[in-house]
A and B are shown apart, each in its own frame.
Chain A
Amino acid sequence: MLESVPLLSAVNLHKSYGKNAARVEVLRGLNLDVHEGEFVSVLGASGSGKSTMLHLLGTLDRPDKGSILLEGNRIDNGPAEERDRLRNHTFGFIFQFYHLLPELNALENVLMPQMIAHSFWSWLVHGRSLKKRGRELLERVGLGHRWRHRPRELSGGEMQRAAIARALINKPRVLLADEPTGNLDAATGAHIISLLRDLNQNDGLTIIMVTHNLDLVADTDRVVRLVEGRVELGDLIKSG
């Protein structure tokens, strides 16, 4: 049987930071394929290159060597505008520290990727329907009643849910979650994972989640362990 083309592939990724003596090699030939609709969790010790891998996959950074392929097409060496567009349309990001903009309320934060995608005039035309979608997403993550609240008025779990709604507003193909529960208590963390699982199962959203927490990976399709900048071979803890 012919294997389908992975949605997202990392091929022999190398990435290092710093110069000369202070140079730290974070990724040392990382290879990873993620198929459409997969929920992949990435485990690894601190400094193993999990976040760096996520940043490279999401075109936030460029690899020193190697390539990133989206449906077989290389995306890491494209022009800045193309990579901006991918981050806006194709990838959704969730961060450990939520990274909501403090000046905006929950709804405005959720709508931010749409605002980036639309010009002023286009927003005047489509703004109303987009706001409706933003409110619906907030309803879905359980924050329908808090849409007017600023991030400082929300709890950690609520902020993360708002961040998930923001990541979903442009209907991305891949959700990149960088320790989404790292700053939350166990119960809230579990709730967030359950939300992600729901998005994966019901909406077919491809999710790559970086985490430290072994307890959270149970609900994911596949677990990948990073050791010294590479995916540890033959050590799949679980395969969906």
Chain B
Amino acid sequence: MYKLLLCWRYLLTRYLALACIISVMLGVATLIVVNSVMSGFSTKLRDRLHGLLSDVVIEANSLEGFSGPAEKMAKIRSVPYLNERIQAMSATMEVFAMLQFRYPNGERVTRMVKLIGIDPKSRDQVGGFKEHLVYQKKNAEASFAIPQDVKEKYENDHLRLIWKARAEQREVRDEEGRPPPEPTPLRVTVPCGVIVGNLLASYREKDPDDPAGNIITRYLLTKGQEVILTTVGGQKLAPVYDNFVVVDYFESEMSEYDSQYVFVPLDYLQRLRAMPDRVSSIQIKLKNYQDAKDVVETLKMLFPFEGLSMATWEQKQGPLLHAIAIEKGILNVLLFLIIGVAGFGILAIFTMIVAEKTRDIGILKALGASNWGVLKIFVTYGLLLGVVGAWLGTLLGVSLTNNINKVENFLSRLTGSHIFDPGVYYFNEIPTDIQVWMVVGVNLGAVGIAVLFSVLPALRAALLHPVRALRYE
């Protein structure tokens, strides 16, 4: 009983203890905020990576791809183990290409892109496509069909050009002064639809009319605008090209994808490249992702000598995910050093408190307190400081994390510059993810360090000779 009473009184009366509490509190709060923000980034990144990549991918190792995707998918379905676990599959053709279009000022622009041929219907079942489309995300299914308004605009624009050309032609007269014969009836063919990455078609900037400086998106490649895609096709991989009309934008919020991806219908791309029935990958969505590794192994056995590689999305993004995990681990070690510093603070302050309380320790021993009892006073005191500091740190850390964007706005207003620039990270807000196990772990770690660093001074107190302690000046 006396241990608790004395701990409590020491906590209330020793201002030095406040320094320990504050240092533990700041360490815990920092760890919670940093871990939550890193987890937020990491979770969002994983969600997006996984959203774009299906659970398992079968890929060709060459630009020519592989033939017979339908037969391969049927073969996969014929294996009961795989059939039970696979929810959907979709064939995809990926190839590099050049995208040409004109800026509103007429200047021609050429960009290197990754041209992806997909089958919208099966791709919808696999996921990672329709939900990222700017205009069609709420539609029942994604489509490359040209909307009526876009079609009319395209036809009108082209008819005007043709009429103008014909009108000029009709001014021409032959030697006898007769106009040229009446041309055949006009018919404009609207090209195939294309979905381009949002960052290929637009750029982001601070709204000059908005005092808050919010980021807005300005489109340079508008819906209905014509683009030319040039890629390679045929056995000799000769250049092939065609015109397309922009029907939608792909916005995954992953700048790497949004600035490179251009989607066209798979069958159209196969025809354009003169590679009928060839694809470069099959995307597979599983009913339960836990089975991914087993499914990959089974697929490897199913297609042993066909130059195909099979991987889960995590294996494909392994280096990136591994880098994030390492970064988080190193940061945690570094940040735990903050609490380590707090621990040394506790050690120093406790040593001072034990020196200050030497006579009291003698009194307690004279009254019958055991060495173990005295040890427990100071270890409990360390525990109490750790618990109070960790509790306050958790309150502060969770509050800061929950209001991190408000804090960022406030600091940005205060300093006059964006601390978190959405233009750089492409997130409109700082993503956070407070994980309970992380908060519990940080708390346990902080309390553990507080107790650990209080053991040495507590031992010193416990082993004090009662007579020497009573005579201590």
- Contact with A61, one of B10, B359, B466 (Cβ below 8 angstroms): B466
Report B339-368 CB contacts with A as 1/0, cut-off 8 Å.
000000000000000000001101111111
Kindly list chain A residues whose C-beta atoms are within 8 Å of the C-beta of B370. 80-81, 84
Contact between A58 and B363, CB atoms less than 8 A apart:
no
Interface: A161 (CB within 8 A): no
Q: Report whether B1 and A99 are in contact in the complex, using a CB–CB cutoff of 8 Å.
A: no
Inter-chain contacts of B360 with A (CB < 8 A): 101-102
Q: What residues on A are CB-neighbors of B366 within 8 Å?
A: 58, 60, 87, 93, 95, 99
With beta carbons under 8 angstroms apart, the residue of A55, A60, A119 that contacts B1 is A119
- B1 lies within 8 A of A103 (CB): no
Asked whether B9 is an interface residue with its Cβ less than 8 Å from the other chain, the reply is yes
Is B470 in the interface zone, CB < 8 Å from A? Answer: yes
B172 adjacent to chain A (CB < 8 Å): no
B325 touches A (CB below 8 Å): no
Closest to A166 in B: B367
Is the C-beta of A29 less than 8 angstroms from some C-beta in chain B?
A: no
| Interface residue A37 (Cβ < 8 Å from any Cβ of B) | no
Within 8 Å by CB of A104, from B5, B368, B465, B470, lies B5
- Chain A residue numbers with a CB within 8 Å of B365 are 60, 84, 87
Q: Judging by beta carbons under 8 Å apart, are A104 and B467 in contact?
A: no
**Is B373 located at the chain interface by the 8 A CB criterion?**
yes
Interface-located stretch among A109-117, A189-197, A221-229: A109-117
Please indicate the chain A residues that have their CB under 8 angstroms from the CB of B364 in the complex: 101, 112, 116
Contacts of A173 in B (CB 8 A): none
Whether B13 is near chain A, meaning CB under 8 Å from some CB there, is yes
A124 to B365, CA, bound (A): 23
* B367 touching A87, Cβ below 8 Å: yes
| Residues of chain A with a CB closer than 8 A to B334's CB | none
* Given A99-B359, A120-B1, A112 and B9 contact (CB-CB distance below 8 Å): no
Q: Which residue of B lies closest to A52 (CB)?
A: B467
List chain A residues, Cβ under 8 A from B1.
Answer: 115, 118-120, 122-123, 127
Contact B371 A101 (CB under 8 A): no
Say yes or no: B466 contacts A112, CB within 8 Å.
no
Is the CB–CB distance between B363 and A99 below 8 Å?
A: yes
Residue B4 interfacial (CB < 8 Å):
yes
A127 — which chain B residues lie within 8 A by C-beta? Answer: 1
**Do A85 and B467 have beta carbons less than 8 Å apart?**
no
- Taking a contact as CB atoms under 8 Å apart, the answer to whether B5 and A108 are in contact is yes
Interface string of B293-333 (1 = CB under 8 A from A): 00000000000000000000000000000000000000000
Question: Closest CB-CB distance, B373 to chain A, in whole Å?
Answer: 7
Cα A119 to Cα B365 in complex, Å, equals 16
Is B190 among interface residues, defined by CB-CB distance under 8 A? no
Residue ID in chain A nearest B14 by CB atoms: A103
Among the listed A84, A102, A119, A120, which residue makes an inter-chain contact with B368, where contact means beta carbons less than 8 Å apart?
A: A84
Give chain B residues whose Cβ lies under 8 Å from the Cβ of A84. Answer: 365, 368-370
User: What is the CB-to-nearest-CB distance from A17 to chain B, in angstroms, rounded to a whole number?
Assistant: 10
CB distance from B425 to the nearest CB of A (A): 52
Closest-CB distance, B381 to chain A (whole angstroms)? 12
Interface size on A, residues (CB 8 A): 33
A116 touches B363 (CB 8 A): no
Within 8 A of B (CB), among A52-69: 55, 58, 60-61
Contact between A80 and B371 (Cβ–Cβ < 8 Å)?
A: yes
Contact bitstring B209-222, A, C-beta under 8 A = 1, else 0: 00000000000000
Q: Would you call A160 an interface residue if the criterion is a C-beta within 8 Å of the partner chain's C-beta atoms?
A: no
Interface size on B, residues (CB 8 A): 25
Q: Which of B9, B367, B373 contacts A113 (CB 8 A)?
A: B367
Asked if A116 and B373 make an inter-chain contact with CB atoms under 8 angstroms apart, the answer reads: yes
Please judge, given known A-B contacts A84-B368, A85-B368, A113-B367, whether A95 and B2 are in contact too, CB under 8 Å. no
A88 within 8 A of B: yes
Q: How far is the CA of A99 from the CA of B366 in the complex (A)?
A: 10
Residue of A55, A101, A108, A123 near B363 (CB, 8 A) is A101
Is there a chain A Cβ closer than 8 Å to B411's Cβ? no
B13 vs chain A, min Cβ distance (A): 5
Q: How far is the CA of A112 from the CA of B365 in the complex (A)?
A: 11
CA distance A81 to B368 in the complex (A): 9
Distance A120 CA – B380 CA, assembled complex (angstroms):
14
Give the complex CA separation of A61 and B365 in angstroms.
Answer: 11
Q: Does A230 contact B (CB under 8 A)?
A: no
Q: Tell yes or no: A50 within 8 A of B by CB.
A: no
The proximity string for B residues 441-466 relative to A, scoring 1 for CB distances below 8 Å and 0 otherwise, is: 00000000000000000000000011
Say yes or no: A116 contacts B467, CB within 8 Å.
Answer: no
Tell me, in angstroms, the Cα distance from A55 to B365 when the chains sit together.
12
A89 contacts partner chain B, Cβ-Cβ < 8 Å = yes
Check if A117 sits within 8 Å of B9, measured CB to CB. Answer: no
- Cα separation A49 to B218 with both chains bound (whole Å): 95
B6 on the A face (CB < 8 A): yes
Contacts A55-B467, A99-B359, A101-B360 given; indicate if A115 touches B368 (C-beta within 8 A): no
Taking the nearest CB of chain A, how far is it from the CB of B281, in angstroms?
67
* Nearest Cβ on chain A to B370's Cβ, whole angstroms: 5
Are the C-beta atoms of B368 and A89 separated by less than 8 Å?
yes
Q: Which residues of B contact A100 (CB under 8 A)?
A: 363
Q: Give the contacts of B1-40 with A (CB-CB under 8 A).
A: 1-2, 4-6, 9-10, 13
Complex CA gap A112/B9 in Å reads 14
Which one of A85, A88, A104, A123 lies within 8 Å of B9 (CB-CB)?
Answer: A104
Contact yes or no, A113 B368, CB < 8 A: yes
**Chain B residues near A102 (CB-CB < 8 A):** 360
B354 vs chain A, min Cβ distance (A):
15
Q: Which B residue sits closest to A104, measured CB to CB?
A: B9
Further pairs besides A84-B369, A95-B470: 16, Cβ < 8 Å: A60-B467, A61-B465, A84-B365, A93-B367, A99-B362, A99-B363, A100-B363, A103-B10, A103-B13, A104-B9, A113-B367, A115-B2, A116-B367, A116-B373, A127-B1, A166-B367
Write the residues of chain B forming the contact surface with A, with a CB cutoff of 8 angstroms. 1-2, 4-6, 9-10, 13, 359-360, 362-371, 373, 465-467, 470
A interface list, Cβ under 8 A from B: 55, 58, 60-61, 80-81, 84-89, 93, 95, 99-104, 108, 112-113, 115-120, 122-123, 127, 166
Please name the 6 residue pairs, one residue from A and one from B, whose CB atoms are nearest each other, closest first.
Answer: A88-B368, A103-B9, A115-B2, A123-B1, A87-B368, A115-B1
| 22 A-B residue pairs with CB within 8 Å | A60-B366, A60-B466, A81-B370, A84-B369, A85-B368, A86-B368, A87-B368, A88-B368, A99-B362, A99-B366, A99-B470, A101-B6, A101-B360, A102-B360, A108-B5, A113-B367, A113-B368, A115-B2, A115-B5, A116-B364, A118-B1, A122-B1
